[in-house]
Amino acid sequence: MITKRKIDKTGAEVSMLGFGCMRFPVEGEGDANVIFEEAEKMVDVAFKSGVNYFDTAFGYHSGNSEPLMGKILKKYPREDFFLATKLPMWNVEEETDVLKIFEQQLERLQTDYIDFYLIHAVNQELLGKIKKFGVIGKLKQLKADGKIRNIGFSFHDELNVFKEVINMHDWDFCMIQLNYMDTESQQGIEGYHIATEKGIPVMIMEPVKGGNLAKFNDEVTAIFNEVDPNATPSSYALRWAGSLPNVKSVLSGMSNMEQVMDNISTFTDFKPLDERETEMIGKVQQVLESYYAVSCTSCQYCMPCPANVNIPNMFLAYNLYSGYKSEWQFTWLVNEARKNGKSPELCVNCGVCLAKCPQKIDIPAKLSEMVELEKSLK
């Protein structure tokens, strides 16, 4: 059976493999039309193997994930699984929206309570709304009423913002994006250690970096095969995250039964990475970093940019393409930056950043390369 870890605050034992409910198989374009029969089989196999932590959200699969999970899990005793979902702050325009959305989620999920309720994708921009609408106080009342068992947040921003959020409340848990290639991105591994020192249990998302750590070229694959040719690269990524002792559950957004079975195998009688495997991951990190177009460490010394370019985030996008050939992630990050007036073409070549960069990166030149790359991908 799947290994479970205990949350000391409540005594709850959650499966180390968490089922992320945002990447079910779909038909047609977009992600709205989930193939119910396949999704149900995947959840059933996972549940019967000991997975008891299911993580969904209001907007997953264009709003269809919560109703889907409500229908699938209804056949199982409610006390036999933990249900996690999230409050979409971008949909909250006034105070009453918090409770309206929550009640809608209970109805969609066909349940009377949520085990793990998160404020979704907290960042600097959303912090103001969280404070303005007294969101934490409302969630505390729902917890007092027995409708929420644990209050937490998921996070997508920089370390300084994470420090502010983690100190806002005595959180029951938090969920962060972390994998062996992103220990310096967003809150990074330091954020994990901060949560651990404060006694806050951690759930991990994107342990396989959106699928980028699941399949490699021959050079990287050969490094893995030296240790175990039968183990998948994704299993090592999941085990790296699970080897952190304060990580209670590692989420995987599974898209097919093959992934479900591989992940079940990884977390059955879970074994943390041993010394040889840890050294192997180190070698993989070095090779992958050698593919990166920019040797940026996201130290933020170049910020703020006089032209408002989000330099570290743009270099993250550039390295996602150069290191993993992830065109969609590159395009998405650049387009999101453009919406906020922070994209690479805004660079005016003023040179202010050059003296600040410890890595001595020719930042304007690299931003110019990104602009040309984006044009070539259209």
**pLDDT per residue as tens digits for the range 32-70:** 999 999 999 999 999 999 999 999 999 999 999 999 999
Give the closest residue to 117 by CA, choosing from 92, 133, 134, 140: 140
Strand partners, 154: 175
For 19, 58, 219, the CA distances from 69, given in Å and listed in that order, are: 11, 11, 40
Contact predicate 284/52, CB 8 Å: no
Specify if 146 maps to a domain: yes
Q: Does 286 score more than 90 pLDDT?
A: yes
The residue-averaged pLDDT of 116-125 equals: 95
Same domain, 180 and 124: yes
CA distance 197 to 200: 8
Same domain, 131 and 30: yes
Mean per-residue pLDDT over the chain, rounded: 96
Specify if 303 maps to a domain: no
Which single residue is written with the structure tokens 């209050």? 151
User: Which pLDDT value is given to residue 297?
Assistant: 81
User: Which pLDDT value is given to residue 210?
Assistant: 87
Q: Does 300 score more than 90 pLDDT?
A: no
CA distance 223 to 189: 24
- For the chain, the residue count is 378
Q: Does 132 score more than 90 pLDDT?
A: yes
Same domain, 201 and 324: no
The residue-averaged pLDDT of 234-250 equals: 98
Amino acid, res. 73: L
CA distance 373 to 351: 21
Token readout for 94 is 């006034």
Same domain, 331 and 203: no
Same domain, 251 and 173: yes
Specify if 261 maps to a domain: yes
Specify if 296 maps to a domain: no
- For residue 298, name the pLDDT band (cuts at 50, 70, 90): confident
User: Which pLDDT value is given to residue 203?
Assistant: 98
Q: Does 145 score more than 90 pLDDT?
A: yes
Full-model pTM: 0.89
User: Which pLDDT value is given to residue 59?
Assistant: 96
Same domain, 111 and 58: yes
Find how far residue 150's CA is from the centre of its chain.
Answer: 19
CATH number at residue 261: 3.20.20.100
Q: Does 350 score more than 90 pLDDT?
A: yes
Q: Does 251 score more than 90 pLDDT?
A: yes
Specify if 97 maps to a domain: yes
Same domain, 88 and 136: yes
Specify if 328 maps to a domain: yes
CA distance 325 to 300: 25
Range with lowest mean pLDDT among 93-107, 137-151, 221-235, 312-326 = 312-326
User: Which pLDDT value is given to residue 299?
Assistant: 81
Token readout for 349 is 């070549």
- For residue 151, name the pLDDT band (cuts at 50, 70, 90): very high
User: Which pLDDT value is given to residue 214?
Assistant: 93
CA distance 8 to 12: 7
The residue-averaged pLDDT of 186-210 equals: 96
CA distance 229 to 234: 13
pLDDT in tens, 252-285: 999 999 999 999 999 999 999 999 999 999 999 9
Residue 55's H or E segment, with its range, is strand 53-55
The residue-averaged pLDDT of 224-253 equals: 97
Provide the residue range defining the domain that includes 207: 4-274
CA distance 266 to 207: 13
Same domain, 211 and 343: no
Specify if 80 maps to a domain: yes
Number of structural domains found in the chain: 2
Specify if 294 maps to a domain: no
Burial of 194 by CB count in 10 Å (0-12 exposed, 13-18 middle, 19+ buried)?
middle
